[in-house]
Amino acid sequence: MLRKILLPAIFIILAYGFWVSPDFKEISAGVAIFLFGMLSLEEGFKAFTGGILERILKKTTDKLWKSISFGVVSTTLMQSSSLVSVITISFLSAGLIGLAEGIGIVFGANLGTTTGAWLVAGLGLKVKISAYAMPMLVFGIILVFQKAKTLKGIGYILAGLGFLFLGIHHMKEGFEAFKETINLAEYAVSGFPGLMLFSAIGIFATVVMQSSHATLVLIITALAAGQITYENALALAIGANIGTTITAIIGSLSANVQGKRLAGAHLVFNLTTGLIAIIFIDFFVVSVDYVSASVGIANDDYTLKLAVFHTIFNLVGILVMIPFIGKLVYYLTRFMHEKATKVTQPKYLYGASVDFPDTAVKSVKDETIHVYENTVEIIVHALNFKMKDLRSQDNLETIATKQQKINAYDVDKSYDRKVKGIYSEIISFIARAGFNWKEEQSNTLHWLRDANQHLAESVKAVKHLQKNMNKYIISDNQQIRNEYNQMRIEIMTLLRNMEECRHHCEDESGSKILALDAYKLRVEENDKELSHRLFQHIHQKQITPQMGTSLMNDSGYTTLICRSLLDMASTLFIGDSPEETQAERALALDDNELAAVMED
Partner 1 sequence: MGLAKILTQLKDLFNEDKVKKKQAETMRALLKKLKNKELKLETQLKKEKNEKTCKQIKRDLQVIRAQQKKGKKILKDAK
| By the rule CB under 8 A, 441 interacts with partner 1 | no
In the set 7, 13, 275, 596, which binds partner 1 (CB under 8 A)?
596
- When asked if residue 443 is in the footprint of partner 1 (CB under 8 A), the reply is no
Residue 520 Cβ, how far from partner 1 at the closest point, in Å? 9
CA torsion through residues 275, 280, 284, 287, sign: negative
Q: Please, are residues 487 and 555 in contact by the beta-carbon 8 Å criterion?
A: yes
In angstroms, what is the minimal distance from the CB of 587 to partner 1? 5
Q: Could you give the CA distance from residue 476 to residue 397 in angstroms, rounded to a whole number?
A: 18
Please give the Cα distance from 320 to 271 (Å, whole number): 12
Binding status of residue 579 toward partner 1 by CB under 8 A: yes
Closest CB to partner 1 among residues 347, 438: 438
- Which residue, 6 or 587, is less far from partner 1 as judged by CB? 587
Of 509 and 549, which has the nearer Cβ to partner 1? 509
Nearest-CA neighbor of 426 among 347, 484, 495? 347
Written in H, E and C, the secondary structure of 153-186 is HHHHHHHHHHHHHHHHHHHHHHHHHHHHHCCHHH
The CA distances from residue 299 to 29, 102, 144, 460, in Å, are: 32, 38, 44, 68
Residue whose CB is less far from partner 1, 576 or 600 = 600
| Closest distance to partner 1 from the beta carbon of 600 (Å) | 6
State which residue, 442 or 542, has the beta carbon closest to partner 1.
Answer: 442
Min. distance of Cβ 583 from partner 1 in angstroms? 5
| 588 binding partner 1? (CB under 8 A) | yes
486 binds partner 1 (CB under 8 A): no
Q: Which amino acid is at 99?
A: L
600 binds partner 1 (CB under 8 A): yes
Task: Give strand ranges (E) for 29-162.
Answer: none
> Does residue 586 touch partner 1 according to CB under 8 A?
yes
- 504 versus 541: smaller Cβ distance to partner 1: 504
Q: Which of 521, 552, 556, 575 binds partner 1 (CB under 8 A)?
A: 521
Q: Which stretch binds partner 1 (CB under 8 A): 105-113, 188-196, 219-227, 575-583?
A: 575-583
Rounded least distance, CB 94 to partner 1, Å: 49
497 part of the interface to partner 1, by CB under 8 A: no
C-alpha to C-alpha distance for 207 and 211, rounded to whole angstroms: 7
**Residue whose CB is less far from partner 1, 300 or 439:** 439
Burial of 230 (0-12, 13-18, 19+ CB in 10 A): middle
Q: Using CB under 8 A, which of 7, 345, 582, 591 touches partner 1?
A: 582
CA-CA distance, 238 to 276, in Å (whole number)? 10
> Residue 398 Cβ, how far from partner 1 at the closest point, in Å?
17
Q: How far is the CB of 357 from partner 1 (least distance, A)?
A: 17
Minimum CB separation of residue 567 from partner 1 in Å reads 17
The pair phi, psi for residue 369, each rounded to 5°, is -65, -35
Q: Is the dihedral of CA 338, 339, 344, 347 positive or negative?
A: positive
Q: Which is nearer to partner 1, 98 or 575 (CB)?
A: 575
Dihedral sign for Cα 239, 240, 244, 250, please: positive
Of the candidates 492, 480, 471, which has an alpha carbon nearest to the alpha carbon of residue 383?
492
Local structure of 480: helix, strand or coil: helix
Taking CB under 8 A as the binding criterion, the range among 235-243, 367-375, 380-388, 574-582 that sits at the site for partner 1 is 574-582
Query: Is 486 in contact with 599 (CB distance < 8 Å)?
Result: no
C-alpha triplet 530, 533, 536: angle, nearest 5°: 155
Is 493 a binding residue for partner 1 by CB under 8 A? The answer is: no
Q: In angstroms, what is the minimal distance from the CB of 424 to partner 1?
A: 36
Q: Find the shortest distance in angstroms from Cβ 593 to partner 1.
A: 6
Angle between helix 212-224 and helix 22-46 axes, rounded to 10 deg:
140
Quick one: 225 or 515, whose CB is closer to partner 1? Answer: 515
Does the footprint of partner 1 cover residue 427 (CB under 8 A)?
A: no
Q: Which is closer to partner 1, CB of 183 or CB of 582?
A: 582
- The reply to whether 584 sits near partner 1 by the rule CB under 8 A is yes
Q: How far is the C-alpha of 110 from the C-alpha of 76, rounded, in Å?
A: 10
Stretch that binds partner 1, among 79-87, 339-347, 554-562, 581-589 (CB under 8 A): 581-589
Residue 514 Cβ vs partner 1, minimum distance, rounded to whole Å: 6
Should residue 395 be labelled a site residue for partner 1 when binding is judged by CB under 8 A? no
587 forms part of the interface with partner 1 (CB under 8 A): yes
Q: Which CB, 412 or 529, lies closer to partner 1?
A: 529
Name the nearest CA neighbour of 370 among 381, 362, 380: 362
Q: Does 522 bind partner 1 (CB under 8 A)?
A: yes
Q: Which residues of 557-579 are buried (b: 16+ CB within 10 A; e: fewer)?
A: bbbbbbbbbbbbbbbbbbeeeee
6 three-class SS: helix
How many binding residues for partner 1 (CB under 8 A)? 24
Other CB atoms closer than 10 Å to residue 88's CB: what's the count? 28
Burial 448-478 (b: 16+ CB within 10 A, else e): bbbbbebbbbbbbbbbbbbebbbebbeeeee
Examine residue 585 and tell whether it contacts partner 1 (CB under 8 A). Answer: no
Q: Return the number of the residue (367 or 584) whose C-beta is nearest partner 1.
A: 584
Cβ 93 to partner 1 shortest distance, Å: 50
500-519 binders of partner 1 (CB under 8 A): 507-511, 514, 517-518
525 touches partner 1 (CB under 8 A): yes
Pairwise CA distance, residues 37 & 255, whole Å: 25
Instruction: Please give the residue ranges that form the binding site for partner 1 (CB under 8 A).
Output: 507-511, 514, 517-518, 521-522, 525, 579-580, 582-584, 586-589, 593, 596-597, 600
